[in-house]
Structure 1
């Protein structure tokens, strides 16, 4: 009979354990501001830029146009995103942050920064920098582009 490795022997399992802990706490924090993590990611992707077509935003975020449309509808209902019709193409439109959305992003960014600090401050700064560099190397090596939203 072959030996079956323990779950904790798998780096992916350990990464998922850490990722879940960080993500769940952040989700709880942003929920207090009335948004989901996926909505935060879209708001942050729109921040600092002008109006953008949903298809371009989908490419930028590595998501489907359908997923972007669902997120946009929720954010439109919350008054955090605006839709501008394209006068040259009646079927086309662009998305941008509303004034309320522009005000909300820095608040959410502060929560994200605080969440990272709370979780990763147990590491000495040089170890935290090493961890970030290693994760970035894996992202680049495997061509990962999809924005994690859940």
Structure 2
């Protein structure tokens, strides 16, 4: 005959699983750290007159060179409407130039203005500084393991949208 102690360890339909603590979830810790890292970066870029969403598009254009709103939507996972609104805001800040495609006058190509080309490296340096502030104390092997783990989660779940907020 099983001991009363053994009986307590046996799952039964009437016994409910205990409620897990918040801190027991990886997602909790990811969100906790992410919120602080994101808030720190947001404050830094907003001091330069742009939002994090605008920074994402500026950096994409910097890397790709002249491109279209459609291409930006595809590589960031944002809707074309969201990209168009952001591009209009960036253009109003004189960080972007828009040109009509000669072969198809309905299409436009966007490129960074001289001011945009100057600003992107400054903002990238702020991103590097922000990473260093939060993760600089970690050994390189730990940072690499974290990045590898997150890339694996992205791949397994087919995540596409670039984080902008």
Quickly name the TM-score band, shorter chain normalised: over 0.9
1:127-142 pair list within 5 angstroms: 127-142=142-157
Deviation at 1:122, TM superposition (A): 2.5
**TM-score normalised by structure 1 residue count:** 0.94
What is the aligned counterpart of 1:45 among 54, 60, 66?
A: 60
Task: For residue 50 of structure 1, report the CA deviation from its aligned partner.
Answer: 2.6
Matches within 5 A, 1:92-107: 92-107=107-122
Question: TM-score if structure 2 supplies the norm length?
Answer: 0.86
Deviation above 3 Å: which 4+ runs of structure 1?
Answer: none
**Greater CA radius of gyration, 1 or 2?**
2
Residue ranges of structure 2 left out of the alignment (5+ in a row): 1-14
Structure 2 counterparts to residues 50-89 of structure 1, below 5 A: 50-89=65-104
Unmatched 5+ residue regions in structure 1? none
Greater length-normalized contact order (CA 8 Å, ≥ 6 residues apart):
1
What secondary structure, in the 3-state scheme, does the structure 1 residue paired with 2:48 have? coil
| 1:65 Cα deviation after fit | 0.2
How many residue pairs are counted as aligned between the two chains?
150
Q: Matches of 2:48 and 2:147 in 1, distance apart?
A: 27
Q: Indicate the RMSD between aligned Cα atoms, in angstroms.
A: 1.3
